[in-house]
Structure 1
Amino acid sequence: MPKRIEVIQESKTGRNEKFKDNLTNKVMTRPQFVKEIKNGNYENYTVKKINNLETPVSKPDKKRNNNLG
């Protein structure tokens, strides 16, 4: 089973900037994915402020299939 969310673009500094939902084929920017997470549409992910920027991250668990990267 492929990862539900895949990072498809990173910035030059390595920040994840574009994401693809492999279930729906929806492509989202970082701000769009943050909004979807906050709306409760991706329960295995959460939002953290990293360098004062809202950033999607996987919720900690032992699964490797939902890790971003």
Structure 2
Amino acid sequence: MRHLRDMSRIPIASLIGLLGFLAYVVAVVTLADHVLQMHWVVQALFFLVAGTAWALPASKLMIWAAGGR
């Protein structure tokens, strides 16, 4: 188990970040197909939330990768 403890967090966080972002984009694009048929206010709210919602998990992942809490 020592080799896992000594392993750098950056490659792990990079892989998790890329896979997570890919899954997020697929989910948002799939949902956007349905939202585009709705009222423009619903569309605006959806794209506002979808465009910024990824930032919190990404920041937490970067802090963890840097060794922070």
Q: Which has the larger radius of gyration?
A: 2
Do the two structures share a fold, i.e. TM-score over 0.5? Answer: no
Q: Which has the higher strand share?
A: 1
Tell me the TM-score range normalised by the shorter chain: under 0.3
Q: Which has the higher helix share?
A: 2
Q: Tell me: higher relative CO, structure 1 or 2? Use CA pairs within 8 A at least 6 residues apart.
A: 2
TM-score of the two chains, using structure 2 as the length reference: 0.26
